[in-house]
């Protein structure tokens, strides 16, 4: 039974409270005593000094303690409880390796942010940062590759640290080239020992595989044996481009920009994922938005209610009141005949 106006409180056995009206009834019965039998003595002054003075005040206090003990005992029997409720959330996160192409062609400025041209790598980092912030319960890491691979960020649940370390994803950190197969294999190796039920590689590249000892399809087959899903994204615009060199202020023409869509489609098929072509910042945002929707983290919520027993408090009051009443009856209220000289 809950009591309105008192939150998080309930009485488990309220029927015991039906005994409470007996308490004032007992008080009335004690106060309505009949006349005591009496014997008249001619000179009552002779009995004035016999016995001790009556302690009616102390007797009333002792009886009040008995009533207090009775009320507290009934309250304890009714089992008052404090209700503690909370929601338990169980999450089954996903392990995701973001696999970045950091070859020199990622410096081509064919993307736009706020109307200003930016290179592909800058645009990709911006989209990936938003993706990371939305994956609240997942372990995410980053593998970067060009002619070789390196690990800017290992798998972690610390999203802020991961976003802050996106600056470590840079070109010219390893030999030039595009070793897509090596990038997939390195990401798969990082995911291999993870205990999560779902493991995902998001591969972002702007070119065709031309480096490394492992082909993209062979690397995808290796990842598939480990239960890893692969989403492959070709990022950039086709056509003739030049790569800017910030240090020298010059541009290096790269000729016709080619995307090996067929290989990337095969990689996604082997990995049980999907292939996407993103030729603008908005389309890349749409791609990561779709991946975010497809790879949902499993979250289970249940409401748990616990109770804290409060009956020890009224029980302690009942015991203390009864003890004091008994102590008074054996000491202050106790009377015995006293010897008198004749």
Domains (ranges, CATH) in the chain? 9-32+40-85+304-330 (no CATH), 94-296 (3.40.50.410)
Task: Dihedral sign for Cα 225, 261, 297, 125, please.
Answer: positive
pLDDT given at position 111 = 93
Q: What is the mean pLDDT of residues 81-102?
A: 79
pLDDT at 291 over 80: yes
Q: What percentage of the chain exceeds 70 in pLDDT?
A: 78
Residue range 87-99: average pLDDT? 78
DSSP letters, 55-117, are -HHHHHHHHHHHHHHHHHHHHHHT-EEEEEEEEEEEEE-EEEEEEEE-SGGGG---EEETTEE
- Report residue 283's pLDDT band, with 50, 70 and 90 as the boundaries: very high
CA dihedral (98, 99, 100, 101) in degrees, to 10, reads -160
Neighbours of 179 (CB within 10 A): 27
CB 86 within 8 Å of CB 304:
yes
State which H helix or E strand residue 14 sits in.
none
> Best-predicted range by mean pLDDT among 58-67, 131-140, 245-254?
131-140
Question: What's the pLDDT at 74?
Answer: 87
Q: Can you give the pLDDT at residue 241?
A: 82
Evaluate if residue 104 carries a pLDDT over 60: yes
Q: State pLDDT tens for residues 229-267.
A: 999 999 999 888 888 776 665 666 665 667 889 999 999
**Cα gap 111→280, rounded to integer Å:** 6
| Residue 226 φ/ψ, nearest 5 degrees | -95, 5
pLDDT value of residue 308: 79
**Predicted pLDDT at 56:** 52
Instruction: Kindly indicate the confidence band of residue 314, based on its pLDDT and cuts at 50, 70 and 90.
Output: confident
Closest C-alpha to 232, from 210, 257, 200, 258: 200
The band of 99, judged by pLDDT with boundaries at 50, 70 and 90, is: very high
What would the DSSP string read from start to end of 267-330? HHHHTTS-EEEE-SHHHHHHHHHHHHHHSPPEEEEEEEEEEEE-THHHHHHHHHHHHHHHHHHH
Q: How far apart are CA 126 and CA 8, in angstroms?
A: 47
| Bridge-based pairing state of the strands 250-257 and 239-245 | antiparallel
pLDDT at residue 233, as a whole number: 96
Ranked by mean pLDDT, the top range of 230-234, 240-244, 300-304, 328-332 is 230-234
Is 90 exceeded by the pLDDT of residue 140?
A: yes
What per-residue confidence (pLDDT) applies to 72?
86
pLDDT tier at 342 (50, 70, 90 boundaries)?
Answer: very low
Return mean pLDDT, the chain.
82
Average pLDDT for 163-185? 90
Please tell me the least confidently modeled range out of 142-156, 246-260, 287-301.
246-260
Q: Looking at residues 19-34, what average pLDDT do you find?
A: 75
Q: Name the more confident of 314 and 264.
A: 264
């Amino acid at each position: 039974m809950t009591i309105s106006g008192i939150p998080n409180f309930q009485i488990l056995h309220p029927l015991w409270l039906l005994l409470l009206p007996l308490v004032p009834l007992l008080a009335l019965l004690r106060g309505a005593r009949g006349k005591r039998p009496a014997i008249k003595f001619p000179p009552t002054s002779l009995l004035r000094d016999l016995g001790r003075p009556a302690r009616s005040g102390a007797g009333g206090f002792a009886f009040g303690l008995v009533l207090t003990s009775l009320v507290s005992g009934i309250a304890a029997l009714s089992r008052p409880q404090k209700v503690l409720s909370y929601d338990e959330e169980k999450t089954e996160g996903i392990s995701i390796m973001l696999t970045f192409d950091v070859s020199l062609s990622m410096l081509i400025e064919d993307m736009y942010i706020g109307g200003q041209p930016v290179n592909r790598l800058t645009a990709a980092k911006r989209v990936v940062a938003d993706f990371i912030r939305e994956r609240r319960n997942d372990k995410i890491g980053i593998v970067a590759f060009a002619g070789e691979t390196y690990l800017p960020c290992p798998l972690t649940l610390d999203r802020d640290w991961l976003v802050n370390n996106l600056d470590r994803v840079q070109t010219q950190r390893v030999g030039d080239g595009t070793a897509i197969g090596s990038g997939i294999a390195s990401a798969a190796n990082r995911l291999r020992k993870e205990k999560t039920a779902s493991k995902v590689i998001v591969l972002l590249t702007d070119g065709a595989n031309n480096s490394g000892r492992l082909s993209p399809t062979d690397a995808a087959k290796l990842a598939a044996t480990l239960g890893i899903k692969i989403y492959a994204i070709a990022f950039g615009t086709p056509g003739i481009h030049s790569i800017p060199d910030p240090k020298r202020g010059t541009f290096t023409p790269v000729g016709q920009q080619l995307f090996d869509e067929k290989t990337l489609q095969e990689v996604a098929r082997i990995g049980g994922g999907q292939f996407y072509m993103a030729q603008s910042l908005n389309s890349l945002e749409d791609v990561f938005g779709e991946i975010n929707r497809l790879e949902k983290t499993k979250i289970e919520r249940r409401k748990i209610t616990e109770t804290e027993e409060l009956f020890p408090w009224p029980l302690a009051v009942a015991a203390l009141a009864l003890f004091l009443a008994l102590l008074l009856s054996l000491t202050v209220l106790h009377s015995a005949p006293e010897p008198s000289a004749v």
